[in-house]
A and B are shown apart, each in its own frame.
Chain A
Amino acid sequence: MVFSSIPFIFFFLPFFLIIYYLVPFKVKNIILLIFSLIFYAWGEPIYILLMIFSSIVDYTNGMLLNKTKNKTKRKIILIESLIINLGLLGVFKYSDFLISNINSLFNLDISLLNLPLPIGISFFTFQTMSYTIDVYLEKVKPEKNFLNFMTYVSMFPQLIAGPIVRYETISEELEKREISLNNFSSGMMRFLEGLFKKVLIANTVGALYLEISTNYMMYSALTLLIGLMAFAIQIYFDFSGYSDMAIGIGKMLGFNYLENFNYPYISKSITEFWRRWHISLSSFFKDYVYIPLGGSRTTKFKHIRNILIVWFLTGLWHGASWNFILWGLYFGIILLIEKFALKNVLAKLPNILKHIYSLILILIGWLLFAFEDFTTLISYAKRLFGFHNNLLGNDFYFFISNFGIILIIGFIFATPIGKHIKEFMMKKKGLNIILGISYIGLFLITIALLVSDTYNPFLYFRF
């Protein structure tokens, strides 16, 4: 089930919240667990066993680590957790990718497994694995209550599309948390904002991107540029909207998740972009791969190696396809260049040029990300630069006149301007009434779009 759907908003969420608020605190975690399992089973009735298995494994690991001080034993437990979690991920997410590469490399014909990707596997394996690592490093105390641990892993707000919540972030809140009207209300507002981002902007701009990318052979170069920008807007609003909804629901339940996005498109460098985009993922790789490998406090050669490994993995995490790996390495190399060569040059540039520099590189990145198939990628890129088509045609005016307004709205809300306007209006009497009415209006529009639209896929659903 996705958050931006009629059954979730009108049935699952209200029904769950009413029960959650009615029961005494002791039972709340169990209710949350039960509803989370229903939520997961809603889309993947069988793979739910996989998530339960992963939870049992790492809960047991935590308990075992608690019992022994023996260094070798502890290491074995750690390695066992890594093997099991990465093994699950490997089998279910990467096996066909591996097989097809082996096939084409050695001219073999091993048949593919064609396993469907379990929803959220990239997220929950990372969560349970990080827990065992943290217990091993003695950063957190192991969870003794299995139900609490299972609740942490399966919690439906962040279950299928993140953010990747670490155990340390919510371990205390699993025992004790503030469930109040104020938290409920601000959580609900956050949920609404995420819902608007997803339904009003990501879905509509997504339809634009879909049109241009399917028929790109017919369109002029500037239209393809609009297509690429539409993709950039769609993926940001889709994913950050989802994170907002997750954080909002978390808050309604009394949990405080960390932020996952911080206006990435206003970055002045690629280094900054990756501090603002999918923060829970970059910090995961930083803490669990980059730093254990030695980070930057090592020889220059190893430092460069570490960065490339992290970005290879970041790319690979996004999907079992070479274009994602290329996309990751592309950013890895830019980060290296920024670090070792461009740092001083960039610092001297006026801000506007820094923004342009960053946005162009980000857009080229999305080009690599958007097309899994290299032939299409190259063909689209050639036309984007006007090699086989007109620079400008009627189609461009069509897309601008039909989608210009929604694109501009997207541009504006990709920056903090919207937030500033909202805070300004909220403080002023009269204006706050207008603000309130617009929220209700936007909510009604969202319902209209959800009821009439069948086009409602989550981009990050299958990662």
Chain B
Amino acid sequence: MKKFNNIMAFSISFIILSLTILFIFSEKQDYSENEFRYLAKMPSFSFSKLLNGSYIEDIEEYTTDQFVYRDFWVKAKTNIFLGINNKLINDVYMAKDGYLINRFKKPNNTAKIINILNKFYDNNPNIKINMMLVPTASSIYKDKLPKYNINYDEEKVIEEYQNNLKLNFINITDALLNNKNKYELYYKTDHHWTSYGAYIAYQSFLKEENKEYYNLNDFNVEVVNKDFLGTIYSKVFVYQNKDIITKISLDNPNFIIKHYNRTTNSFYEEKYLETKDKYSYFLGNNEALIEINNLDYKDEDNILIIKDSYANAFIPLISYHYKNIFVIDPRFYNLKISDFIKENNIQNVLILYNVGTIDTDTGITNIR
């Protein structure tokens, strides 16, 4: 027993000391691409920070963030949990066919958000306001979730919005469900929809607008990347298949896209395909306001899209059918949107959010 204890104590001490020494001499990282965040740095010392306890908190965060082989340990944790049959890790379901699906929790702010949107509707009389609240993979690919799960019912939440909103609500759940086996509508490792999912929404929306739309085979459908590991992957560090990013577009487009401090003529930002954040291939990072002019379009109709990042894959498709497309992301746009509507003489507004994050979206209160 004594010998056993001594050998064990020696081995464990050896492990601890080696990791400590490795930590001290390891090169510290600034940014974790996998986690989409800056890692904690060694905090600078000050007496006031020491006294209010924040210095110590920072040191604890620093040692945990910069611990050697961090990704390895996180991946190990996921595998251990899978090993004891735990299929919900960091609020991610390990679903069938390689799908990682975010858990959908009971929302807390539905009534509040409905109230904000109804007020917005009242403040903008005589203006057509549509809304699409896009379901996520957790309802469209419900059949891929583990047999027993504790997801809240997404469709019920969408219906609650539909029944209480004054604006015109476009429910695209059925359209997506009808196509869920034909196309991969959502990424397996990211919380966004694919270009196919966005295409289904495009179709539904133009039907509602009584406009003609292109069929999928009128478009060029082109695979632009096969190495996409998205945000959900970053929560668990395991995957079965990498995702494929598809570009759905027409030949010879003639667009001017005005970003905050630059102007381009393509929706597609190639440079992001080289980074971790590949979804930003569509329209780049989220910005307060983007203005798109379609030079080939003959009529004069404009549209304002108030949106979260789901719309980024949708906007390139819808843009073929309007003269001017204004895109506002209220998370970054702090002015009064109603004023913007008046100033630019906009008659048509589409609010596009996904139901998975609308409840916690920080921009909703800016819709006024």
User: Would A451 and B67 count as touching, CB distance under 8 A?
Assistant: yes
A10 within 8 A of B: yes
User: Would B80 and A448 count as touching, CB distance under 8 A?
Assistant: yes
A192 within 8 A of B: yes
User: Would B50 and A184 count as touching, CB distance under 8 A?
Assistant: no
Proximity string of chain A (384-407) to chain B, C-beta cutoff 8 Å, 1 when within and 0 when not:
000000000011011101111110
Given A10-B20, A188-B9, A447-B73: A395 in contact with B63 (beta carbons within 8 A): no
C-alpha gap A448/B76 in the complex (Å): 6
User: Would B5 and A182 count as touching, CB distance under 8 A?
Assistant: yes
Proximity string of chain B (57-101) to chain A, C-beta cutoff 8 Å, 1 when within and 0 when not:
001100110010010011011001000111110000000000000
Q: Which residues of B contact A218 (CB under 8 A)?
A: 106, 150, 152
Interface centre among A6, A182, A215, A394 (most CB of B within 10 A): A6
Proximity string of chain B (179-211) to chain A, C-beta cutoff 8 Å, 1 when within and 0 when not:
000000000000000000000000000000000
C-alpha gap A42/B51 in the complex (Å): 10
Proximity string of chain B (227-256) to chain A, C-beta cutoff 8 Å, 1 when within and 0 when not:
000000000000000000000000000000
How many inter-chain residue pairs (CB < 8 Å) link A and B?
Answer: 128
User: Would A14 and B9 count as touching, CB distance under 8 A?
Assistant: no
Q: Which residues of A contact B15 (CB under 8 A)?
A: 440, 443-444
C-alpha gap A188/B4 in the complex (Å): 12
User: Would B149 and A398 count as touching, CB distance under 8 A?
Assistant: yes
C-alpha gap A192/B6 in the complex (Å): 13
Proximity string of chain A (176-216) to chain B, C-beta cutoff 8 Å, 1 when within and 0 when not:
00000110111011001000000000000000000100010
Given A188-B9, A402-B85: A6 in contact with B80 (beta carbons within 8 A): no
User: Would A403 and B73 count as touching, CB distance under 8 A?
Assistant: no
A414 within 8 A of B: no
A87 within 8 A of B: no
Given A10-B20, A398-B148: A452 in contact with B77 (beta carbons within 8 A): yes
Which residues between 146 and 185 of chain B lie within 8 Å of chain A, taking CB atoms? 146-150, 152
Chain B residue with Cβ nearest A192: B12
Closest Cβ of chain B to A50, distance in Å, is 15
A46 contact from B1, B51, B60, B74, Cβ within 8 A: B51
User: Would A215 and B50 count as touching, CB distance under 8 A?
Assistant: no
User: Would B88 and A402 count as touching, CB distance under 8 A?
Assistant: yes
B224 within 8 A of A: no
Q: Which residues of B contact A45 (CB under 8 A)?
A: 50-51, 53
A11 within 8 A of B: yes
Interface centre among A185, A402, A452 (most CB of B within 10 A): A452
User: Would A436 and B59 count as touching, CB distance under 8 A?
Assistant: no
User: Would B13 and A188 count as touching, CB distance under 8 A?
Assistant: yes
C-alpha gap A426/B3 in the complex (Å): 10
Chain B interface residue count, Cβ-Cβ cutoff 8 angstroms: 45
Q: Which residues of B contact A436 (CB under 8 A)?
A: 4, 7-8, 11
Chain B residue with Cβ nearest A223: B150
Closest Cβ of chain A to B232, distance in Å, is 16
Q: Which residues of B contact A432 (CB under 8 A)?
A: 4
B17 within 8 A of A: yes
User: Would A9 and B67 count as touching, CB distance under 8 A?
Assistant: no
B295 within 8 A of A: no
Closest Cβ of chain A to B149, distance in Å, is 6
User: Would B63 and A445 count as touching, CB distance under 8 A?
Assistant: no
User: Would B6 and A405 count as touching, CB distance under 8 A?
Assistant: no
B23 within 8 A of A: yes
A426 contact from B1, B77, B106, B146, Cβ within 8 A: B1
Chain A interface residue count, Cβ-Cβ cutoff 8 angstroms: 52
Interface secondary structure of A, over-half rule: helix
C-alpha gap A447/B70 in the complex (Å): 10
Q: Which residues of B contact A445 (CB under 8 A)?
A: 76, 80
A171 within 8 A of B: no
User: Would A185 and B67 count as touching, CB distance under 8 A?
Assistant: no
Q: Which residues of A contact B39 (CB under 8 A)?
A: none
B111 within 8 A of A: no
A371 within 8 A of B: no
A321 within 8 A of B: no
A57 within 8 A of B: no
User: Would A394 and B85 count as touching, CB distance under 8 A?
Assistant: no
A100 within 8 A of B: no
Given A402-B86, A402-B87, A452-B77: A184 in contact with B63 (beta carbons within 8 A): no
Which residues between 95 and 119 of chain A lie within 8 Å of chain B, taking CB atoms? none
User: Would A398 and B64 count as touching, CB distance under 8 A?
Assistant: no
Which residues between 1 and 41 of chain A lie within 8 Å of chain B, taking CB atoms? 1, 5-7, 9-11, 13-14
User: Would A185 and B73 count as touching, CB distance under 8 A?
Assistant: no
C-alpha gap A182/B2 in the complex (Å): 6
Closest Cβ of chain A to B114, distance in Å, is 21
B70 contact from A192, A394, A398, A451, Cβ within 8 A: A451
Closest Cβ of chain A to B273, distance in Å, is 28
Given A7-B60, A14-B20, A440-B12: A405 in contact with B67 (beta carbons within 8 A): no
User: Would B73 and A395 count as touching, CB distance under 8 A?
Assistant: no
Which residues between 2 and 43 of chain B lie within 8 Å of chain A, taking CB atoms? 2, 4-13, 15-17, 19-20, 23
B335 within 8 A of A: no
User: Would A448 and B1 count as touching, CB distance under 8 A?
Assistant: no
Closest Cβ of chain B to A345, distance in Å, is 41
Q: Which residues of A contact B7 (CB under 8 A)?
A: 436
B56 within 8 A of A: yes
Q: Which residues of A contact B148 (CB under 8 A)?
A: 394-395, 397-398, 401-402
Q: Which residues of B contact A435 (CB under 8 A)?
A: 4
Interface centre among B2, B20, B51, B150 (most CB of A within 10 A): B150
Chain A residue with Cβ nearest B80: A445
User: Would A404 and B85 count as touching, CB distance under 8 A?
Assistant: yes
A463 within 8 A of B: no
C-alpha gap A45/B73 in the complex (Å): 32
C-alpha gap A176/B78 in the complex (Å): 47
Which residues between 419 and 438 of chain A lie within 8 Å of chain B, taking CB atoms? 426, 432, 435-436
Given A405-B84, A426-B4: A215 in contact with B106 (beta carbons within 8 A): yes
Chain B residue with Cβ nearest A443: B12
Given A182-B6, A402-B88: A43 in contact with B73 (beta carbons within 8 A): no
Interface centre among A185, A394, A444, A445 (most CB of B within 10 A): A185
Chain A residue with Cβ nearest B9: A185
Q: Which residues of A contact B86 (CB under 8 A)?
A: 402-403, 406
Closest Cβ of chain B to A222, distance in Å, is 13
A5 contact from B60, B76, B147, Cβ within 8 A: B60
Q: Which residues of B contact A11 (CB under 8 A)?
A: 20, 63
Chain A residue with Cβ nearest B50: A45
Q: Which residues of B contact A366 (CB under 8 A)?
A: none
5 new A-B contacts, CB < 8 A, other than A6-B67, A398-B146, A432-B4, are: A14-B13, A14-B20, A42-B56, A185-B10, A436-B11
Which 6 residue pairs are nearest across A and B when measured between Cβ atoms? A185-B9, A185-B5, A398-B148, A451-B73, A452-B74, A448-B76
A-B contact pairs, 25 of them (CB 8 A): A9-B16, A45-B51, A46-B51, A182-B6, A185-B6, A185-B8, A185-B10, A188-B8, A188-B13, A189-B8, A394-B148, A394-B149, A397-B147, A398-B88, A401-B85, A401-B148, A402-B87, A405-B84, A432-B4, A436-B7, A436-B11, A440-B11, A445-B80, A448-B74, A451-B77
Residues of B within 8 A of A (CB): 1-2, 4-13, 15-17, 19-20, 23, 50-51, 53, 56, 59-60, 63-64, 67, 70, 73-74, 76-77, 80, 84-88, 106, 146-150, 152
